[in-house]
């Protein structure tokens, strides 16, 4: 799914330079006082595919918002506000939008451990998500880059398992219980399968399972991190991000980090395959971090987040590309961070996370826009 919020928290350090730069670039002098003012934007003129953008949250870190099957709600993860210190899962009712950060939407995770990667199940009465709460009720420690030579690393906590909850926060089923990382579940539009990432083979591979956790099948089998997978609109294909270490040095670094339940997600490309893993194709070759992919409603294009176009790789925007790797097009233009895009099931709207309009802070909020092809 999504390079989930754990990586997102990691890149806040990476984007500190970008945030400072954004303040300078968006600052203007007040004609009367001479004081510097922060000029915020919700919509940039270059964003021709987006119309009627609305801000949904107003503080903290909000990300990975995904639509219910009937497009009336969003499920997302949030931290650094609402009394939670590490990511928990909330449901946003679009018929009753938040007016400010003082209004707290319903939390459907346990409030214990760290959670990530939530998604509505068919019928919209239950939600699948990943959590570490059985391994430890406390927030797991976030690794420090200074302990790894200053490199940006992301934890794949072995305590993550996949659960199903109702809308009142009651866990109704545990879907995985294998040792090691099981996370990043998303559900097919056909309502028959879940795709997820697991360490059960000794590497981070994609798997599918039925909605009750049965009939687990391995999808990918190449060395490297495979994750953030989503189904195509017709449920026949998967789009995902992957690292592919090739040189002896890269392979050693990848394996050494993985032995510590860590990955370095700064060099990833996008791949498409059939649900069973066949007909695997690499569709980007841009360098840097290309991630958070999601199929366009036509099934012929993919929208994703990337920093390949930034000279210092210090900011992320949404781009779109054809599934054959042609037709790359920039979609969003925030100076710091746009990511986690998802089209509504009717194809009319796009939800995404962004640092735009955050008054010079590091807040990341949810935004929804009408989509214009």
pLDDT tens-place string over residues 315-350: 999 999 999 999 999 999 999 999 999 999 999 999
> pLDDT category, 354, cuts 50, 70, 90?
very high
Give yes or no for residue 247 having a pLDDT over 70: yes
Token pair 């790789």: residue: 313
pLDDT tens-place string over residues 136-160: 999 999 998 888 888 889 999 999 9
User: Any idea what the Cα angle at residue 23 is, between residues 21 and 27, rounded to 5°?
Assistant: 125
- Cα dihedral 219→204→229→269 (10° resolution): -110
Residue 2 pLDDT: 39
pLDDT tens-place string over residues 120-141: 999 999 999 999 999 999 999 9
Give the CATH number for residue 167.
Answer: 2.120.10.30
Which element (helix H / strand E) includes 54?
Answer: strand 50-55
Residue 37 pLDDT: 52
List residues bridging with 238 in a β-sheet: 231, 273
Q: Kindly state the tokens that stand for 373.
A: 């092809």
- CA–CA separation, 135 vs 118, rounded Å? 19
Residue 312 pLDDT: 80
Burial of residue 249 (CB within 10 Å: 0-12, 13-18, 19+) is: exposed
Sequence-separated (6 or more) residues with CB below 8 Å from residue 242: 220, 222, 224, 225, 226, 227, 268, 269, 270, 271
Helix locations, the chain, DSSP H: 5-14, 16-26, 248-258
| Mean per-residue pLDDT of the chain | 91
Q: Kindly state the tokens that stand for 324.
A: 């054959």
pLDDT tens-place string over residues 266-312: 899 999 999 999 999 999 999 999 999 999 999 999 999 999 998 88
Task: Please give the residue that has the higher pLDDT: either 35 or 196.
Answer: 196
Which element (helix H / strand E) includes 263?
Answer: strand 262-263
Residue 16 pLDDT: 32
Residue pair 342/350 in contact by the 8 Å Cβ criterion:
yes
- CA–CA separation, 142 vs 60, rounded Å? 18
- CA–CA separation, 244 vs 241, rounded Å? 10
Enclosing domain of residue 285: 5-371
Residue 151 pLDDT: 84
Residue 147 pLDDT: 85
Residue 356 pLDDT: 97
Domain count, the chain: 1
Give yes or no for residue 257 having a pLDDT over 90: yes
Which element (helix H / strand E) includes 242?
Answer: strand 237-242
Provide the sign of the torsion angle of the four alpha carbons 316, 321, 325, 328, taken in this order: negative
User: If you average pLDDT over residues 181-204, what whole number do you get?
Assistant: 98
Residue 8 pLDDT: 44
- CA–CA separation, 282 vs 241, rounded Å? 10
Q: What percent of the chain has pLDDT over 90?
A: 85
Give yes or no for residue 221 having a pLDDT over 80: yes
pLDDT tens-place string over residues 2-15: 344 444 444 443 33
Give yes or no for residue 175 having a pLDDT over 80: yes
């Amino acid at each position: 799914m999504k390079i989930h919020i754990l990586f997102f928290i990691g890149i806040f350090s990476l984007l500190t330079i970008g945030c400072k730069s954004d303040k300078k670039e968006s600052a203007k002098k007040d004609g009367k006082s001479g004081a510097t003012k922060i000029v915020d934007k919700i919509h940039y003129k270059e964003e021709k595919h987006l119309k009627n953008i609305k801000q949904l949250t107003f503080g903290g870190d909000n990300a990975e918002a995904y639509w219910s099957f009937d497009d009336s709600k969003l499920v997302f993860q949030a931290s650094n506000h609402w009394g939670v210190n590490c990511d928990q899962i909330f449901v946003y009712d679009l018929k009753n939008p938040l007016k400010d950060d003082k209004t707290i939407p319903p939390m459907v995770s346990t409030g214990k451990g760290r959670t990530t990667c939530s998604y509505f199940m068919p019928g919209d009465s239950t939600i699948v998500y990943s959590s570490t709460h059985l391994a430890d009720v406390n927030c797991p420690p976030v690794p420090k880059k200074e302990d790894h030579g200053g490199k940006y690393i992301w934890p794949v906590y072995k305590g993550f398992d996949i659960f199903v909850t109702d809308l009142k926060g009651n866990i109704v089923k545990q879907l995985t219980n294998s040792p090691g990382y099981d996370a990043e579940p998303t559900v097919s539009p056909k309502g028959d399968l879940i795709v997820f990432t697991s360490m059960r083979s000794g590497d981070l591979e994609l798997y599918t399972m039925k909605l009750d956790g049965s009939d687990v099948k391995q999808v990918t089998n190449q060395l490297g991190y495979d994750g953030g997978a989503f189904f195509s609109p017709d449920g026949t294909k998967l789009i995902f991000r992957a690292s592919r270490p090739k040189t002896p040095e890269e392979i050693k670094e990848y394996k050494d980090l993985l032995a510590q339940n860590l990955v370095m997600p700064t060099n990833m490309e996008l791949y498409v395959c059939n649900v069973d893993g066949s007909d695997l194709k690499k569709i980007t070759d841009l360098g840097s971090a290309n991630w958070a992919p999601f199929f366009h409603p036509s099934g012929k294009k993919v929208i994703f987040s990337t920093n390949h176009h930034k000279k210092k790789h210090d900011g992320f925007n949404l781009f779109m590309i054809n599934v054959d790797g042609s037709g790359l097009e920039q979609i969003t233009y925030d100076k710091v961070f746009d990511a986690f895009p998802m089209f509504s099931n009717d194809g009319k709207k796009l939800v995404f996370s962004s640092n735009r309009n955050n008054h010079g802070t590091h807040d990341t909020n949810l935004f929804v826009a009408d989509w214009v092809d």
